[in-house]
Amino acid sequence: MRKVTLKKIIDKKKFDEITRRYSKTGVIIAGDLILDRFIYGSVSRISPEAPVPILLVQKEEQMLGGAGNVALNIKTLGGNPFLISSIGRDVDGKILKEILKDKSIDSFLIEQDSPTTTKTRVIARTQQVVRIDKEEVKKLKDEDVLNIKKMLDEKIQNVSGIIISDYSKGFITKKLIDIFLKYKKKYGKILTVDPKVEHFPYYKNVTCITPNRAEASEVVHIKEPEPLDDIRRLGEKIKRHIGCEHLLITLGKDGMMLFENYGKVIHIPTVAKEVFDVTGAGDTVIAVFTLSLSAGASVIEAAIISNIAAGITVAKLGTASTSQNELKETFREVLEKEYVNIL
């Protein structure tokens, strides 16, 4: 194992060049759109009706979750996201439309006769007490897939990258992924996937997949590894199994491990100073990695930038994103002192 400082891989000049191109970079995000609702409050007593705490509500927030949070991460960094997803014909669907409009995120939404996927998190001070999910997994109809393809024929030339944000809520199907794979091959587009285990066979030949440690372990039916050597063997097994060009396994407090197409394996330690909330961290990684790659970064440069962005978001409470100013400030702080391990 060889330690290399970040400065030897990506200096300030190259970082500035990549982030400057964000504003001219278009990225399509296709996947499951979720309404993330947060109810914040305090607990001071137990209910007389049942042995449960009583939360006195102090604040409520509604945010873009799932593929919507990926699009928001790209938008806040100055990129140009275009979201493709589905919502229900209900109040929560209308709320998502309003948030997308407020954030100036362009979208193509299919309305379905099923509830909009919603995750409600109840938080007492900084501790999550319970999460309440509302969803109905409903796959796209063939006519929906056809309408998406027609729209993509018009949009594909205006983007450099495509993200598949798969939360296994029904939007992502093999037919849809096959369409994106054809665009990748025909137009040379970058195609990345934030995956779900049950759909791993669909992702063959994509540019990169970004599973977390648990997802990576589950797909090859082994216990979650801890030592770096075991994680390396896990990643190499997945690359052989899936056939993707690159693989980026996120490791929580241990950072991430990148498996490049030509065999190099690199461990990137986390730069997070403290971890407040990991909600949406995977969205940040896939968003920043793909945006950077689409803006001309190398695979290792894109991974380092996404690792820094993830370190910023996990220090925030709730579904969070990072701004370009925050990213630049943190990059300058870690440039001299942080490193990567080349295995």
pLDDT tens string 278-319: 566 889 999 999 999 999 999 999 999 999 998 887 766 555
- Phi then psi for 298, rounded to 5 degrees? -75, 170
Lowest mean pLDDT among 148-157, 219-228, 261-270: 219-228
Domain that holds residue 130: 2-342
Query: What integer pLDDT is reported at residue 190 of this predicted model?
Result: 97
pLDDT of residue 315: 62
pLDDT of the residue at 24: 96
CB distance 244 to 204 below 8 Å: yes
Report the CATH number at residue 295: 3.40.1190.20
Which pLDDT score, from 0 to 100, does residue 249 have? 95
How much is the pLDDT for 31? Answer: 96
Residue 227: band (very low, low, confident or very high) from pLDDT cuts 50, 70, 90: confident
Q: Is the model's pLDDT at 232 over the cut of 60?
A: yes
Count the domains in the chain: 1
110 burial via Cβ count (<10 Å: 0-12, 13-18, 19+): middle
Predicted TM-score (pTM) of the model is: 0.92
Is pLDDT of 66 > 80?
A: yes
What amino acid positions are annotated as catalytic residues?
283
Output the pLDDT for position 334: 87
Q: Does position 321 have pLDDT exceeding 80, yes or no?
A: no
Q: Which residue has the higher pLDDT, 261 or 319?
A: 261
Separation CA 75–CA 104 (nearest Å): 8
The lowest-confidence range among 54-63, 232-241, 312-321 is 312-321
Q: How far apart are CA 63 and CA 86, in angstroms?
A: 16
DSSP 314-333: TTSSSS----HHHHHHHHHH
- pLDDT category, 195, cuts 50, 70, 90? very high
Per-residue confidence band for 274, with pLDDT thresholds at 50, 70 and 90 = low
